[in-house]
């Protein structure tokens, strides 16, 4: 009885963490979407103001409210991360299915995984983003084409296990096609891992987007992205305007941490092994 209670308590704690993480992320999204251009407008009479009750994150050299800019930047980063993680997961699923086709395709997919993992991640991301013209489209394509290898390797391992299952062998003997087996056996089994993998890709995608934007290879300077904000703030840190970099950078880390907590707890909820370990 005690063991059952402990499991129920663990499950309740996990669900509570997931709900809180989703609520916090929803609050960031809604806040960012509700911020209009007037909140981001230039107000020279308020420039270089330190954090106060009127401006919790202070203002920049043009008098723009840093809290509004940070929330808007987080929303942009979240949108980029969502799209890139979804496309990366889709690539991983397709390659995972191809790996299960035959030994030749499996060897090709394994070679591709090793090839992409052998190249420094940030360098490859910058090259792809620059090659397709940069901006929002370039960043999303770059992130999508560089964040699939680890998830593909995981899905490939799952595929190999499922292929050796008895029910898959029975379906083959009954004359079912490979596509039928993939639709009815492989994909349904992989969906939980795919979803968790996509959520866990978010933090990496968001941080890498901010990194290449900071270096000047990412989003347009016209957008209040976190990477742009941090890049611009570097010129003013020596003058004592510490809040220009501290609050946006800290907010980005908090959002990444929330995604990490969300992904780990969803995995704990879906995977009984992780649930018992937690």
Q: What is the pLDDT of residues 55-105, one digit of tens each?
A: 888 888 888 888 888 888 888 888 888 888 899 989 988 888 888 777 888
Which range has the worst mean pLDDT, 175-184, 190-199, 252-261? 175-184
- Is the pLDDT at 2 greater than 50? The verdict is no
Tokens of 273: 């092994």
Looking at 119-225, list the stretches that DSSP marks H as alpha helix, in order from N- to C-terminal side: 121-131, 135-146, 149-163, 166-173, 178-181, 187-214
Band the pLDDT of 23: cuts 50, 70, 90.
very high
Task: Supply the pLDDT for residue 272.
Answer: 53
Comparing 35-39, 93-97, 265-269, the range with the smallest average pLDDT is 35-39
Nearest alpha-carbon partner for 80 in 269, 252, 263? 252
State yes or no: pLDDT of 50 exceeds 50. yes
1 has pLDDT over 70: no
142: left (phi over 0), alpha (psi -120 to 50) or beta: alpha
Tracing tokens 């992320």 back to the chain, one arrives at 25
Rounded CA-CA distance 42/60 in Å is 9
Instruction: Report the pLDDT averaged over residues 1-23.
Output: 71
* Tens-place pLDDT, residues 229-240: 888 888 888 788
Q: Cα–Cα distance between 194 and 93 in angstroms, integer?
A: 8
* Tens digit of each residue's pLDDT (9 = 90 or more) over 198-235: 888 888 888 888 888 888 777 777 777 888 888 888 88
Structure tokens at 41: 């407008």
Interval 117-164: pLDDT, tens: 888 878 888 888 888 877 888 888 888 888 888 888 888 888 878 777
Domain segments of the chain: what residues?
A: 2-36+60-277
Q: How far apart are CA 205 and CA 191, in angstroms?
A: 20
Cβ contact 147:88 at 8 Å: yes
- The confidence score (pLDDT) of residue 3 equals 46
What pLDDT does 4 receive? 45
Alpha-carbon distance of 83 to 138, in angstroms, equals 12
- In this predicted structure, what is the pLDDT of residue 8? 56
> In this model, does residue 246 exceed pLDDT 60?
yes
Residue 205 is predicted with a pLDDT of: 85
Homologous superfamily assigned to 2-36+60-277 = MetI-like (1.10.3720.10)
pLDDT, tens digit, 9 for 90 and up, residues 96-105: 888 877 788 8
């Amino acid at each position: 009885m005690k063991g059952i209670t402990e499991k129920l308590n663990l499950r309740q704690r996990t669900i509570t963490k997931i709900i809180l993480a989703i609520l916090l992320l929803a609050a960031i999204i809604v806040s960012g979407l509700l911020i209009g251009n007037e909140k981001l407008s230039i107000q020279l009479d308020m420039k270089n103001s330190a954090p106060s009750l009127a401006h919790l994150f202070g203002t920049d050299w043009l008098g723009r409210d840093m809290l509004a800019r940070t929330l808007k930047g987080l929303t942009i980063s979240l949108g980029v991360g969502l799209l890139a993680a979804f496309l990366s997961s889709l690539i991983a699923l397709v390659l995972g299915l191809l790996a299960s086709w035959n030994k030749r395709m499996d060897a090709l997919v394994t070679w591709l995984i090793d090839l992409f993992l052998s190249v420094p991640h940030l360098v490859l991301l910058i090259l792809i983003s620059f090659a397709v013209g940069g901006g929002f489209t370039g960043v999303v394509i770059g992130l999508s084409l560089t964040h699939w290898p680890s998830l593909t390797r995981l899905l490939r391992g799952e595929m190999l296990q499922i292929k050796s299952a008895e029910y898959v062998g029975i379906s083959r003997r009954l004359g079912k096609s490979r596509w039928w087996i993939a639709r009815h056996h492989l994909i349904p089994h992989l969906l939980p891992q795919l979803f968790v993998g996509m959520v866990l890709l978010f933090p990496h995608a968001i941080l890498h987007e901010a990194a290449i934007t900071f270096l000047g290879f990412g989003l347009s300077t016209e957008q209040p992205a976190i990477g742009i904000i941090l890049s611009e703030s570097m010129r003013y840190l020596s003058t004592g305007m510490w809040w220009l970099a501290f609050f946006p950078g800290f907010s980005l880390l908090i959002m990444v941490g929330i995604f990490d907590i969300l992904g780990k707890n969803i995995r704990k909820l879906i995977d009984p092994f992780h649930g018992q370990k937690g």
